[in-house]
Amino acid sequence: MTIASTRFVFLPKPKRRWFQFRLRTLFVLVVVAAAPCVWLKAKLDRKQKERVAIAEIESLGGFVLYDWENADQEGPPGPAWLRRLFGDDFFARMIWSDICGQEVTDGSLVYLDPLADLEFVDLSGAEKITDNGLCHLKALSHLRALVLGAGVTDQAVGHLKELTQLRELIVEDSSVTDAGVAELQKALPNCKILR
């Protein structure tokens, strides 16, 4: 009985090249590269919705004001080449909207929904806006000042109570009574209500 000897041949280990990655590393790189793209797409979609809303508000006779216009700056913020690419309003925040005109109704306030950064809304010139239309103001989480029109009554108090960031409410042109003002003042202690 003979035992055959076995030879093992060891091949040299291939050298790793600098551009070789593990699958996990590649996945991390893809996620890191995709995150800014997701943010950019979300911002572009939001700005597109804002532009549509602004066009509708202006078609009803209203207007909007951006933060840079309110600060008396010469032009919109951001690099000029990026503004040409994405639009002048890409780096700007809309802070003021005046919705007025005979055509403005409760349904018109739906155009405020995508304008979450609004800080001031003037409804004094819109006489057809009633208590029911004010439910659209709930989406305005940064709303600091609000001027109500003649069609708004004490029934709007329920909608207005939810505007916890409100600091100034002007009800002089509205049909809100002293009892409604007292109820609002209790619900919004940090809000100055002007009659």
CATH number at 146 reads 3.80.10.10
Cα 119 to Cα 116: distance, rounded to the nearest angstrom: 9
Q: Which residues pair with 145 in a beta bridge?
A: 120, 168
User: What is the overall mean pLDDT for the chain?
Assistant: 87
Asked if the structure places residue 2 within a domain, the reply is no
Domain range for 55: 24-194
Asked if the structure places residue 8 within a domain, the reply is no
Asked if the structure places residue 126 within a domain, the reply is yes
Asked if the structure places residue 177 within a domain, the reply is yes
Asked if the structure places residue 97 within a domain, the reply is yes
3-state helix, strand, coil in the chain (%, to 5): 40, 10, 50
pLDDT in tens, 41-100: 999 999 999 999 999 999 888 889 999 888 888 889 999 999 999 999 999 998 999 887
Cα 113 to Cα 109: distance, rounded to the nearest angstrom: 8
Total number of domains constituting the chain: 1
What are the strands of the beta sheet with 168-170, ordered from one edge?
63-66, 94-98, 120-122, 145-147, 168-170, 192-194
Asked if the structure places residue 11 within a domain, the reply is no
Q: State the Cα angle at 55 between 137 and 91, rounded to 5°.
A: 80
Phi, psi dihedral angles at 180 (to 5 degrees): -65, -40
Span 171-193, mean pLDDT?
91
Asked if the structure places residue 180 within a domain, the reply is yes
Cα 172 to Cα 194: distance, rounded to the nearest angstrom: 7
Asked if the structure places residue 9 within a domain, the reply is no
- pLDDT of amino acid 147: 92
pLDDT in tens, 155-178: 988 889 889 899 999 998 888 999
